[in-house]
Amino acid sequence: MLESSKESLKLEAMKRVVGLIAKGKNASELFPAVVKNVANKNLELKKLVYVYLVRYAEEQQDLALLSISTFQRALKDPNQLIRASALRVLSSIRVPIIVPIMMLAIKEAASDLSPYVRKTAAHAIQKLYSLDADQKDHLIEVIEKLLKDKSTLVAGSVVMAFEEVCPDRIDLIHRNYRKLCNLLMDVEEWGQVVIISMLTRYARTQFISPWKEDGVFENSEKAFYESDEEKRKSAEETKPYAMDPDHRLLLRSTKPLLQSRNTAVVMSVAQLYWHLAPKHEVNIITKSLVRLLRSHREVQYIVLQNIATMSIQRKGMFEPFMKSFYVRSTDATHIKTLKLEILTNLANEANISTVLREFQTYVKSQDKAFAAATIQAIGRCATNISEITDTCLNGLVLLLSNRDETVVAESVVVIRKLLQTQPSEHSDIIKHMAKLFDNITVPMARASILWLIGEYCEHVPKIAPDVLRKMAKTFHNEEDIVKLQTVSLAAKLYLTNSKQTKLLTQYILNLGKYDQNYDIRDRTRFIRQLIVPSERGGALSKYARRILLAPKPAPVLQSAFKDRDRFQLGTLSHTLNSKATGYLELSDWPPMAPDQSVRNVEVAEAMKEWSPAVGKAKSSKSDDKFYSDSGEEEDEQAADSGSDEEGGSEGSTRTPVSLSSEAESENSETSEDSSQSEKSSDSGTGVKKTTTQKNKKLQQAKKPRKLVSVCDRVCVCVCQQLSSPVFVPVHTYELLHRMTGKGLAAQYHFSRQPCIYDDRMISVQLTFSNNGDHTLENIHISEKTSAGQNIHCFSPIECLEPEKSVTVSMGVDFNDSTQAASFQLCTKAEGFNVSIQPAVGELLLPVTMSEQDFSKEQVWGAVFAAKLVSSGALVLVCVVQKDSGAQLTVNTEKTIIGSMLLRELQTVLSQGS
Amino acid sequence: MIHSLFLVNATGDIFLEKHWKSAVSRSVCDYFFEAQERATEPENVPPVIPTPHHYLISVFRHRIFFVAVIQSEVPPLFVIEFLHRVVDTFQDYFGVCTEAAIKDNVVVVYELLEEMLDNGFPLATESNILKELIKPPTILRTVVNTITGSTNVGEQLPTGQLSVVPWRRTGVKYTNNEAYFDVVEEIDAIIDKSGSTVTAEIQGVIDACVKLTGMPDLTLSFMNPRLLDDVSFHPCVRFKRWEAERILSFIPPDGNFRLLSYHVSSQNLVAIPVYVKHNITFREGSSQGRFDLTLGPKQTMGKVVESVLVSSRLPRVVLNANLSPSQGTYTFDPVTKLLTWDVGKINPQKLPSLKGSMSLQAGASKPDENPTINIQFKIPQMAVSGLKVNRLDMYGEKYKPFKGIKYMTMAGKFQVRT
């Protein structure tokens, strides 16, 4: 039929072939006939052929090669669906010979116009990598390229490829980190899961721990953490923890995803918060996790496992939701046990009575395995919470009369463990158990009772020999474990009460000597040597009593989930409690924050695209010439400023025109126009280049330092576009002198980073130092006096030792005016009125703008663009070369800011020369 | 990620397999069968099973095991969620998701699986997109296809795949424009022996059926949005708007979808709409047990409790039950010991009851636990949490749609311990 000329027949035939594949039958002998149809026009037929090819190409490599040319043709098809599916199939047929072709196709597809095709390319990367790992380097190049892609469609797939091919190349993420965080909301749900887990690992290597020493959280903090904490504590005393804004960004952008309908997404956000968020913020995941419990059985299973791990470390998180973990009779057994586990973890003095009442119901459950698990849980509660031990014991003893064997056995075992903690008071329980001994047949339980009697034979001197007598009778019928315990019981009794039991012991030892099991024979021989005084007088027999009847430490009953936290939550490894292939360890927090500026690249990159002309102009010129140029230019300006001061009396000088009145008449946009006066003496040839270059050069700090320090305040916008704000020299201002502050001195500087409290605020870093000789307590801000200005205060500093200093950050919304923000700075004892005065440049934020936009906004020859922090109004600065001077233009809606900025720029530029 | 998928039926036969990377021998399922044998009930099969070289992650739905084979670390929920999505898609396409339906449509199933995963990573799981790529089989289409020779595979990349609203396709047209919303709330509760509530919470969903032309932009507001304690949304809902104004604003997908699901936590008081009086006793020594059950409405705000179904798994020693219901019918399966009683409506004047005796295995001792009773019921026209939709507005299109809203309360996992 496949050979038929009729398409419908072919299709029918192909359908049957696919049916065969689906059933797992071998259809590979049809390969030649099928491959012929690969070029068929019918799309459904084609798809089915693809399915077939992908399945069998690996087995029939030579024949599969016949189809390659078809795919290569299809890769050029105008229909993106066809291009994509051709690439999919091409990369899915695992034939090593075509690796170069695949590589080529992937590279091409990675720059395809359609994001769908690019997504397919990202998938193909993984396939090629699994086929031929040697291509890694080339593939990493492609991944790097695709990581820059702005399409939400591609993001998830490429991160997946990244995880598979080069999970250790963290450096590729830096530049894309912020973009990924921002896109996260819009990426499709599967991509979200992958990206979140990748970012979790990334954040663990890039940010410092937010878990400052807010106490040893709960009681389960491990020892090695503590030592770490210790160290960090000392480091933090000088520098309080301030969360990296990028770290905050990650937490903020993932939070809404807790509301996702996809359980995998919710879980991955939950684990991100668990591993990355400050301790007090983790609680927001609780509700969402509890919600997931309503989902399918399998989902419940995984979620409960993760909750179990979390609940060990932090009871408080889930305690309010305890009722959600109550067991229903319809739950599957593994879910019941998990719920039980969680309930046990959550139990504390306050809620134990409710929990125990629940447990009582469970013990009666028809599901006996579950009932047994409940008894163990009761045991754990009883050891953890000492008040209820007695109640639990009584309850368990009642259970001993239960008809079900497993229940009884389990109770015996648990009672034994409990009794070990406080044996003396409970001899009646031991007696009771000895009475029950005849009815119990489960070996583990029998062994437990024997051990108990042996261990505490002094409390039950009458019963013990009797039990031993019974055991001697039935010895040969017992299980190995019971026999072993019988032997130890005999030995112990022999030591304490040899009068009554000497013969019995010897009888049992004889029985043991000829037992089938070598363990028992060994044990018997050992015991005999130890306790029976032989003529050779073994050196050990003196110590026999101390060896056998040494006080034994009580066993610690603890959760099976105790050590699961070494695995990242939500992973397969965590579920299995063993390392799965390909599991990537979550690294510990770095002790020091790595350079944050690596993630800043984006802006500079945009800058490069934005002003290629500048770059070119610069490169075309030799450095020497550049220097001389600017030198000349500065000369002229020096002269020019001189002339300005003279009052603009020179005829050729144009004085700056203030256009404030004009501005109002114009459409809300004031253009301040001031021309730097031209100089007649200078010839135009020397000053070929625009002042753009000059400015740029100023910013690059090749000029005297004096200039930069003055200039940086004004030109913050400029600086930020050219380089990251990190490199801006810090200029600190005095807020409070130590004399006025009676020992407390305060300084501030503008950190020029986006404020984390509010977009419209400017972040100010305050440094307090105590120069007095007594500790200052409770430093805080009270009374914000100035109107129209918002201040986000720092959290109060509890105490400041003498000779110590501390840095905090606060946010101030200056409302786009240079009016000082004044407030009262208080210590416990006194208050001081202080004010922060912003320079006009601090009110600006750099913005990136294309040349077109800029000229659309106002003028040609784009130079610098910025916006006001509070109102977001644009500020455009333009420097234009006029025949022999330069013209500086500032455009902004806010007249006052504009004129102030202009004035400052002018002084700086003229000073610089 | 996901390497292969095996579909296993209740009797333990693999009836479909699909590989996304190189083929994995089906012998890997032997580990699964082992686990299946060990578990007494199919529900008890652990969802994650490690084998020497692979990991098997399975879900059990519609009496079919969907077993995914994994080779390396992957979040297990990722796989589980995906498998459930596959089942939902099958159900969407074939109406039911049974072995027979899958076998009949094996080609469509294969095409679907091919589109849903690429190299083990999910590609398209949104049912609107899939439906454009692969048209669901209908009788009409099969007839047309055989005559005209056209295919049911889409030729163009679905527009939704690329747009910002991937859940909605463009160019939707209806003559009757209508939007229906169903507020369905389920009560999960455990009632103890004495009739007091151990735990009770409400899980609600709003399911929508929207058939509107073009690209409508809807907003839905509630009278009392504060009730919604914990919500999860369909991706179409604008989260920012909800955070700020507590209004649901969205461009709906076409057809049926779940707009949101919410949870009213156990801290709030939940009105339990039915009560049960029970008296189930077994006497030591005798081979008879007494069974007496009466249902009654309470706190129903005057609404009728409908479709009541009581089920209970009696202890193993019960051989048979000889009961007489005052209304409805009852069945008792002596093998599984499952007693079901289809009550129907509860009439407050004449309370339904089920009385009679049980015969026990001779000589067996009395069971130490009384059976738990599961109850299902429906109460139409009431949302037990008190949630009320305020209004629905549409923007972006000119026509006037027909709007409808329906409330319903159901029993979720409603258990009475006796």
Q: Which residue has the tokens 């050990």?
A: A540
Residues from chain A that touch B73, judged by Cβ atoms under 8 A, are 571-573, 580-584
Helix, strand or coil for residue B322?
strand
Residues from chain B that touch A261, judged by Cβ atoms under 8 A, are 232-235, 258, 261
Give A 426-485 residues with CB within 8 A of chain B: none
Distance CA A427, CA A435 (A): 12
Q: Which residue has the tokens 């105008």?
A: A78
Helix, strand or coil for residue A154?
helix
Distance CA A897, CA B4 (A): 65
Which contacts qualify for A774-780: CB closer than 8 Å, 24 or more apart? A774/A743, A774/A802, A775/A799, A775/A800, A775/A801, A775/A802, A776/A743, A776/A744, A776/A800, A776/A827, A776/A828, A777/A827, A777/A828, A778/A826, A778/A827, A778/A828, A779/A744, A779/A825, A779/A826, A779/A827, A780/A825, A780/A826
Answer whether A88 sits within 8 Å of B118, measured CB to CB.
yes
Residues from chain B that touch A13, judged by Cβ atoms under 8 A, are none
Interface test with A, best of B107, B152, B199 (most A CBs within 10 A): B107
Least confident of A107-121, A426-440, A711-725, A786-800: A711-725
B298 touches A: beta carbon within 8 Å: no
Answer whether A330 sits within 8 Å of B413, measured CB to CB.
yes
Residues from chain A that touch B266, judged by Cβ atoms under 8 A, are 321, 323-324
B143 touches A: beta carbon within 8 Å: no
Q: Are A536 and A499 in contact (CB under 8 A)?
A: no
Distance CA B403, CA A409 (A): 63
Residues from chain A that touch B75, judged by Cβ atoms under 8 A, are 193, 197, 264, 267-268, 570-572
Residue whose C-alpha is closest to residue A555's, from A417, A374, A426: A417
Q: Does pLDDT of A642 surpass 80?
A: no
Average pLDDT over residues A691-711: 40
Distance CA A904, CA A842 (A): 13
Residues from chain B that touch A266, judged by Cβ atoms under 8 A, are 232
Q: Which positions ≥6 away from A151 have C-beta within 8 Å?
A: A115, A118, A119
B14 touches A: beta carbon within 8 Å: yes
Residues from chain A that touch B263, judged by Cβ atoms under 8 A, are 287, 290-291, 294
Q: Which residue has the tokens 């995803």?
A: A257
Residue B254, pLDDT score = 82
What is the DSSP code (8-state) at residue A621? S
Distance CA A16, CA A12 (A): 6
Average pLDDT over residues A744-762: 72
Q: Are B67 and B56 in contact (CB under 8 A)?
A: yes
Answer whether B15 sits within 8 Å of A299, measured CB to CB.
no
Answer whether A302 sits within 8 Å of B109, measured CB to CB.
no
Find the helix or strand (DSSP H, E) in which B406 lies: strand B402-416
Least confident of A221-230, A238-247, B177-186: A221-230
| Nearest chain B Cα distance for residue A580, angstroms | 6
pTM (two decimals):
0.69
Residues from chain B that touch A288, judged by Cβ atoms under 8 A, are 230, 232
Distance CA A398, CA A457 (A): 23
Least confident of A721-730, A885-894, B275-284: A721-730
Residue A2, pLDDT score = 64
Same fold flag, B178-270+382-416 and B274-380: yes
Residue A661, pLDDT score = 38
Q: Does pLDDT of A141 surpass 80?
A: yes
**What is B274-380's CATH superfamily?**
Mu homology domain, subdomain B (2.60.40.1170)
Give B 324-383 residues with CB within 8 A of chain A: 365, 367-369, 371-372, 374
Q: What pLDDT, in 10s, does the model give residues A76-121? A: 888 888 888 888 888 888 778 888 888 888 888 888 888 888 888 8
**CA A391 to chain CA mean position, Å:** 44
Q: Does pLDDT of A907 surpass 70?
A: yes
**What is B178-270+382-416's CATH superfamily?**
Mu homology domain, subdomain B (2.60.40.1170)
A402 touches B: beta carbon within 8 Å: yes
Answer whether B119 sits within 8 Å of A126, measured CB to CB.
yes
Residues from chain B that touch A120, judged by Cβ atoms under 8 A, are 118
Answer whether A81 sits within 8 Å of B114, measured CB to CB.
no
The torsion angle over the Cα atoms of residues A46, A47, A50 and A56, rounded to 10 degrees, is -110
| Nearest chain B Cα distance for residue A581, angstroms | 5
Mention the CATH class of domain B2-148.
alpha beta
Domain boundaries, chain B: 2-148, 178-270+382-416, 274-380
Distances (CA, A) of A860 to A437, A856, A879, B71: 100, 8, 10, 59
The beta-carbon neighbor of B230 closest among A116, A288, A298 is A288
Distance CA A20, CA A57 (A): 16
pLDDT under 70 in chain B at which residues? 138-166, 265-268, 285, 363-369
Q: What pLDDT, in 10s, does the model give residues A393-416? A: 778 777 777 767 777 778 877 887
Answer whether B151 sits within 8 Å of A267, measured CB to CB.
no
Answer whether B19 sits within 8 Å of A55, measured CB to CB.
yes
| Nearest chain B Cα distance for residue A130, angstroms | 10
Residues from chain B that touch A190, judged by Cβ atoms under 8 A, are 78, 82, 121-122, 125
| Nearest chain A Cα distance for residue B400, angstroms | 30
Q: Are B311 and B276 in contact (CB under 8 A)?
A: no
Answer whether B47 sits within 8 Å of A301, measured CB to CB.
yes
| Nearest chain B Cα distance for residue A725, angstroms | 31
Pairing of strands A831-836, A805-813: unpaired
Q: Which positions ≥6 away from A179 have C-beta within 8 Å?
A: A150, A602
Answer whether B316 sits within 8 Å of A366, measured CB to CB.
yes
Find the helix or strand (DSSP H, E) in which A229 lies: helix A223-238
Residue of A nearest to B235 (CA): A260
Answer whether B192 sits within 8 Å of A361, measured CB to CB.
yes
- Beta strands (DSSP E) in B41-88 are 48-50, 55-61, 64-70
The beta-carbon neighbor of A328 closest among B146, B152, B190 is B190
Interface test with A, best of B51, B78, B198, B203 (most A CBs within 10 A): B78
Q: Does pLDDT of A441 surpass 50?
A: yes
A20 touches B: beta carbon within 8 Å: no
Find the helix or strand (DSSP H, E) in which A383 lies: helix A368-384
Distance CA A148, CA A137 (A): 17
Which contacts qualify for A835-839: CB closer than 8 Å, 24 or more apart? A835/A786, A836/A733, A836/A735, A836/A748, A836/A764, A836/A812, A837/A733, A838/A750, A838/A762, A838/A812, A838/A814, A839/A713, A839/A714, A839/A904
Answer whether B229 sits within 8 Å of A334, measured CB to CB.
no
Answer whether B415 sits within 8 Å of A81, measured CB to CB.
no
A577 touches B: beta carbon within 8 Å: no
Instruction: Show the 3-state SS of A630-680.
Output: HHHHHHHHHHHHHHHHCCCCCCCCCCCECCHHHHHHCCCCEEEEEEECCCC
A584 touches B: beta carbon within 8 Å: yes
Distance CA A262, CA A190 (A): 9
Residue whose C-alpha is closest to residue A569's, from A169, A828, A272, A832: A272
Mean pLDDT of chain A: 72
B263 touches A: beta carbon within 8 Å: yes
Q: Does pLDDT of A663 surpass 50?
A: no
Q: Does pLDDT of A272 surpass 60?
A: yes
Highest mean pLDDT pick, A313-322, A594-603, A642-651, A734-743:
A313-322
| Nearest chain B Cα distance for residue A585, angstroms | 11
Answer whether B107 sits within 8 Å of A48, measured CB to CB.
yes
Residue of B406 and A639 predicted with greater confidence:
B406
A210: exposed, middle or buried (Cβ count in 10 Å: 0-12, 13-18, 19+): buried
Answer whether A58 sits within 8 Å of B22, measured CB to CB.
yes
Distance CA B211, CA B216 (A): 10
Residue of A414 and A789 predicted with greater confidence:
A414
Q: How many CA atoms does the CB half-sphere of A880 hold within 13 Å? A: 14
Interface test with A, best of B88, B121, B191 (most A CBs within 10 A): B121
Residues from chain A that touch B336, judged by Cβ atoms under 8 A, are none
Joined tokens for residue B404: 């409808």
Q: What is the ipTM of this complex?
A: 0.87
CB contact burial A875-893 (16+ within 10 A = b; e otherwise): bbbbbbbeebbbbbbbbbb
Distance CA B308, CA B288 (A): 28
Going across the sheet that includes B389-395, the strands are B247-250, B217-222, B389-395
Q: What pLDDT, in 10s, does the model give residues A857-888? A: 544 444 566 666 666 677 777 776 666 667 77
B191 touches A: beta carbon within 8 Å: no
Joined tokens for residue A455: 């261990």
Q: Which residue has the tokens 């504390």?
A: A348
A547 touches B: beta carbon within 8 Å: no
